[in-house]
Amino acid sequence: PATNIVPITVADARAFAAAARERGVLLSVVGPHRVRLVTHLDIDDAGAKHAADVVARLLSDEPAAEKRG
């Protein structure tokens, strides 16, 4: 089914969320290694692209999953 919820596993969810917030993107910490993104009704295409770009950049800086254990 289609959804606007995107769960992501990261090394440190709180640090990831803080880095995203510093770049203007709010997301939810739902576990020590899990964040959740949900689009908001008032986000336009430019805002969605900004959020996607920020998350992509932060993910590119993430350690590889095999290094996290």
- pLDDT band for position 65 (cuts 50, 70, 90): low
Give the per-residue pLDDT at 17: 97
> What are the tens digits of pLDDT across the range 8-56?
999 999 999 999 999 999 999 999 999 999 988 889 999 999 999 999 9
Beta carbons within 8 Å of 32's beta carbon, 6+ residues apart:
12, 13, 14
Q: How far is residue 62's CA from residue 47's CA, in Å, rounded to a whole number?
A: 23
Q: What angle do CA 55, 40, 24 make, to 5 degrees?
A: 40
Give the per-residue pLDDT at 69: 44
Q: What angle do CA 67, 15, 60 make, to 5 degrees?
A: 55
Give the per-residue pLDDT at 28: 96
pTM confidence score:
0.85
